[in-house]
Amino acid sequence: MIALHCSAFHYTFPQIGEGVQILVENIGSSPTAVQFDEDAQTLNRFLSHRPGRDGGEYRLTGPLRVALHYMRSGEDLLFDGTLSADLAGQCARCLEEFPLALSRPFSWVLLPASPQGAPGRETELNQEDLAASFYSGDTVDVSLLVREQFFLSLPSYPLCQETCKGLCEQCGVNLNSEGCSCSPGWTDPRLAALATLRLPTQRASSEKTEKAHS
């Protein structure tokens, strides 16, 4: 089913289980081209639980499209291709939603993992091989690799435009579309009292530290 060794041929993979798998024995020494989509709903679930998001969010508005070539060189498996997707991002400065068309080339080298305990090629890897990782078993889970690549290619600080002016810290208007008469650096005098306040949780934790020291 997957034994296609013709670079001009495009084949849409069936989704096996959660993702697209390629049998290692079917990876030949001449390139095979495939195209498939990763479901937007599944990826959006991942996106909404992505750890380490700082202020911004993304949502796919269509599937993640994958164009992939693969082949082997001895035991090493070579992959390259392009990811493309239409997304909606939330600007980290002004919080407005903006469209983002993502298109990223990628390439991976998968080396056979050495048997446990045996000295493997891991030790030979030099700086240039850092993009390489390892495979073991009969199949390569391409979806896993694609998803990882997709998450990595999303900018960590999404902006609707480089020059986004963000929101006014005082009145909250979107400074891209409106002006306001707040003066920069001004703080409401009523907030000054709050700044001197010590939170009970802070006190509790510092008491704990004091106890630990005595």
Chain residues that interact with Zn ion, rule: CB under 5 A: 91, 93-94, 160, 164, 168, 170-171, 180, 182
**Cβ distance to Zn ion smaller for residue 146 or 160:** 160
- DSSP type of residue 176: T
**Cβ distance to Zn ion smaller for residue 28 or 56:** 56
**Cβ distance to Zn ion smaller for residue 93 or 147:** 93
CB of 57 to Zn ion, least distance (A): 13
Contact 70, 110 (CB under 8 A): no
CA dihedral sign of residues 117, 123, 125, 127: positive
Determine the 3-state secondary structure of 103 from DSSP.
Answer: strand
CB of 23 to Zn ion, least distance (A): 46
24: alpha, beta or left? (left if phi > 0; alpha if psi -120 to 50): alpha
**Cβ distance to Zn ion smaller for residue 85 or 94:** 94
Single out the residue of 60, 7, 75 nearest to residue 35, CA to CA.
7
CB of 196 to Zn ion, least distance (A): 25
Amino acid letter at 125? L
CB of 162 to Zn ion, least distance (A): 10
**Cβ distance to Zn ion smaller for residue 77 or 160:** 160
CB of 159 to Zn ion, least distance (A): 6
CA dihedral sign of residues 82, 86, 91, 92: negative
CB of 53 to Zn ion, least distance (A): 16
**Cβ distance to Zn ion smaller for residue 128 or 162:** 162
Measured CA to CA, the distance from residue 122 to residue 105 in angstroms comes to 25
Measured CA to CA, the distance from residue 9 to residue 7 in angstroms comes to 6
